[in-house]
Amino acid sequence: MARSSLDRQDLDLPWLIAAGQREGGSLDDFYAALETSAQAARARYNADHRQPLTSKTYVGHLLPNQDDRDRYQLEAGTRLVRRLATAIRDLTRGSLHDGHEHAADFATFRLGILVRADDGHETYVAVRITGSVPDDLTAVVLRHVPGCEPTHWYPEYALPSRSLLPAEQAWSTLMDPKAAAELLNEE
């Protein structure tokens, strides 16, 4: 069956479309070339399918397909990880400066980071997530906290100054003192 419109799942996605100049009679007329291409696509479609199209043209091959959807999801995931990595570094640095929790809101969750450092003692880092996130995203968050080993995080039942709220999860670990010093010197 030919696709005459976008699938329901495509309606909420932004898609880049091509356009060109109308140059009537010119060999460079974008729309004349598009029409010729769509007529050839119709002929190929009709040759390959039992029920032929009754339209003059076919542009189904120009619509988003599964490869486009997969690429869109991958690119969205990459953007989220980059945004998370930047936010995590900024939140960690901010908390390292003042000893208070710094937080940022994302689409489905709130991320908070608290760093406590005493002169000459260990630097403690707590990460909390309020809201629903998949386990693999939690691992991405913990992996991006500067100066902390990704495998050394421990789940917590409370934060240093309060109990956890409903739908809140927290982890803690120690930060490498050299990484903490480098982070403090960033601006």
pLDDT along the chain (187 residues), means of 10: 48 64 77 90 94 92 87 93 97 95 95 86 93 90 97 92 90 94 87
Residue 16 confidence (pLDDT) = 58
Residue 2 confidence (pLDDT) = 41
Spatial separation of the C-alpha atoms in residues 91 and 108, rounded to whole Å? 18
Spatial separation of the C-alpha atoms in residues 53 and 9, rounded to whole Å? 24
Residue 46 confidence (pLDDT) = 94
Domain ranges of the chain: 8-64, 71-185
Residue 7 confidence (pLDDT) = 54
